[in-house]
Structure 1
């Protein structure tokens, strides 16, 4: 990648990190959070940072992140190596609390920034789609529910893997769908290791 390309990416990331277009809708204010390097081989397309991520400025710096790292078979060190793993949520800022968990990601981020970011990731071999919003955006042949997307993961394999959200609030989904951890996680861990080898 040329110096000009890297300079353009640095400029893009500065623009994103100083973005405040949704400020009026965010109860905790703007704090765009993503992890990005054009060398990354795995893209994690998530929903939006949670409150703990907002407070620390680190994506998945909570119990959801612990479960996600377990699912992927990754150490914290590897997970937070931007030259290996890119983390590009659908909304870059914490959206605030709703009645049954966090509010949906703000739609402005994807419309404004995602095309530019995805074009600047030429080495992605595996895209992990966490939650319904990421799946709706990235999957051309998406099913009508997150569960169906995950159940039909072979349609997207080996380059894309739809996952439920790893939040502790999702424990009931995991209990209702025990096949997810027994049938999918071992192969996913193997694929992640293969990509990063």
Structure 2
């Protein structure tokens, strides 16, 4: 299985579907898929898509959003990038570009359609999926996703309690653009984050 995952990862990192067979507008740059699968990690971080800094670094969450996410998880950068601990597989592997207001565009649909199911299938050891944002929650939760991101994240207890393998916990995006959301929803830091950190410690220590 580890060999199959390594081969699939090499194929993904050489992917040019968004250039050669685009569903939507072409990418504004050359493809640079950013994905960190793992044959050992018990926790999968399912994000949205790389931003500008991650596109340049080629490494996921090398930006302020990553700093906030690591704080939420209660882990160091070394722990975060250790593939014995975490797999990091966004919904879109390449930076999709920005809209007129300077915000990142949604993840490209080509990625999930071409690769996601096959990639997830080759990581059967994953016990917990952290779904960051609407697109990851839609893919991993299906009908269990609520009508809005706030309702989905607020329903984390019920979602986590469902007889689902692997378990899923929904998160908002750790972007600093969501600081106002955090202030409006203090339960996230007061109730959700302590539970999340306990789950992380449990799965990294066993």
TM normalised by structure 2 equals 0.90
Alignment of 1:105 with 2:101, yes or no, is: no
Cα shift at 1:99: 3.2
SS of corresponding position for 1:64? helix
Q: Is the 8 A contact 2:43 2:128 kept in 1?
A: yes
* Alpha-carbon separation, structure 2, partners of 1:193 and 1:21: 38
**1:32-58 Cα shifts (integer Å, max 9, x gaps):** 001111111000000001100000001
* Alpha-carbon separation, structure 2, partners of 1:175 and 1:99: 27
User: Which runs of at least 4 in structure 1 moved beyond 3 Å after TM superposition?
Assistant: none
Cα shift at 1:80: 0.2
* Alpha-carbon separation, structure 1, partners of 2:146 and 2:180: 21
1:20 corresponds in structure 2 to 16
* Alpha-carbon separation, structure 1, partners of 2:149 and 2:157: 14
1:145 corresponds in structure 2 to 148
Segments of 5+ residues of structure 2 without an aligned counterpart are 162-166
* Alpha-carbon separation, structure 2, partners of 1:94 and 1:8: 26
1:68 corresponds in structure 2 to 69
Segments of 5+ residues of structure 1 without an aligned counterpart are none
The alignment's C-alpha RMSD in Å is: 1.1
Query: Superposed, which structure 2 residues align to 1:77-156 within 5 Å?
Result: 77-100=78-101, 101-140=103-142, 141-156=144-159
Q: Is the 8 A contact 2:79 2:85 kept in 1?
A: yes
**1:137-193 Cα shifts (integer Å, max 9, x gaps):** 110311011000000001221621100000011111111111111111011101110
* Alpha-carbon separation, structure 1, partners of 2:84 and 2:129: 15
* Alpha-carbon separation, structure 2, partners of 1:116 and 1:82: 19
Query: Greater CA deviation, 65-74 or 24-33?
Result: 24-33
Query: Superposed, which structure 2 residues align to 1:157-176 within 5 Å?
Result: 157=160, 159-176=167-184
